[in-house]
Structure 1
Amino acid sequence: MIPKEILDKVRLIEIQTRSVVNELFAGEYHSVFKGRGMEFAEVREYQQGDDVRSIDWNVTARVGTPFVKMYDEERELTVMLVVDASASGAFGSEEQMKGEVGVEISALLAFSAIKNNDRVGLLIFTDEVEVFIPPKKGRKHVLRVIRELLYFQPQGRGTSIAGALEYLERVIHRRSVVFILSDFLDADYQRVLQLVARRHDLIAVNLFDPRERQLPDVGFISLQDAESGGQLLVDTRNPRVRERFAEEQRGEEEQRSRAFRKLGIDEIFIDSTKSYIEPLVQFFRTRMRRL
């Protein structure tokens, strides 16, 4: 039986997100994603301006000339929420943990989907896939998705984005809009990311806390990896130590963002200490201008 406080939280999230969905997201969501759910029709030769994500690599390799897949628009869309529940999501320096922000964003996206009569599904992962709810339509189904997010207790502490995407590729065959909500503190997932991006419309929702990116000047501290448990003693009074740490964080972020752009994957940066509404709305509007 689900505790009363969990059910109360579900109802509160529904009320909060319903207002945002109605006031801010309805038009943008419909414009950006309607028509992204497609059914394959035929291939034709590539023309300047075509989306490179539509290239049929098998046909292209066979004939030696780029060809793109053509689709007939479906009236419905499938939205998949792929949520990282690893231990690093429990980091938070203000009112909310990164993982809690991810739950609220997932709820917002889920309610946006059902408002437009689309299917929504959920995949929760750590170092393995721990929950999979196949995509369906309807308010009752969305409330089940949100209850699962709120009530879920992860068994693993690590992260395997590659494992989650490989699972997604096996079970979701219809082209979908896939939101990956994670801090992306993982490696070795680029190959499978490229594979999945060919079929699905991937959007990386990058959850971060700004204090993860810089060290405070407080003397000797022990840094511990939330997922591996490894520890390192550093002297934060040394400005070179603080700057080197910040540079490494910036370098990793820039490298990750370049990889996303190369694959045609949009990235939304969500600061867990601030409102997530503005960056989400900005993403929708920026993407709408590109259409």
Structure 2
Amino acid sequence: MPTAERAVADKRFQIPHRRCMMAEVETEVKGRSIVVTINRPQVHNCVDAETAQLLFEAVQSFRRDRDLDVLVLTGAGDVSFCSGADLKHVESLIARPGADESGPMGISRVTDLDKPTIAAVNGYCLAGGLELACWCDFRVASHNASFGNPARRWGVPLIDGGTQRLPRIVGLGNALYLIETGIVIDAAGALRMGLVQEVVPDGQALPRALELAEAIVEYPRVSVKNDRRAVYEGLSPPLAEGIRLEAEVHRSSLADPEMAERLRQYVAGQRPLLPHPPACP
């Protein structure tokens, strides 16, 4: 990309180790990697329409920047990676311009990115947050991380790739176990299931993800990209086709009056109990 065009495209990502605040999403370039942080710790990093749009813009900037090779997605603070969609503002999230193309959570329907992505998961990784973690190529989790789909209680469907990516990552039975029951599992359970690839001490998920990113960027980039491409394009059916199917079948879910009633209960502070996984033997 010519120098002038690159400067216009995105000045924020040109200077290594420079931190850039983008309201509810924070970005930081470290060498040839970029850290994208969901920055709403006061609400467990749940995603509203503004956050979704900023996530999309961050990924698009990463896509354009030829000097950046790996994206690390994480959440601000130690309590939550992302607790999902902001259910108090779910209508605006779905109505966000471009949501049909990029996904309500901002990036879940972006299936043509040609660079590696890593999720650094700290704390709660739930519902739409789980879908964002699954959007990444692989996941590094801290000991305090937990994963699940408790939004099952409110009738909120997985429309950010969860029905397509989870079975590809953990297999059919494990995926349906998480999707149908609403059970929340700990990091050890996620590791056994293959949902995460490494579990590290609390506070070390991001440093470890960056360590892995640093290793990846040192490899010849063409072979890394082509191996990654062959993996994704070799899946059947194609992920993009599955994502379209997910969006289509859940149109009736989003119009379901019972979901609207359950969301009113959520706003009123009612919390139905979820089943718990058994203790490890």
User: Larger relative contact order (C-alpha < 8 A, sep ≥ 6)?
Assistant: 1
Name the TM-score, length of structure 1 as normaliser: 0.28
TM-score (norm 2): 0.29
Structure with more strand by fraction: 1
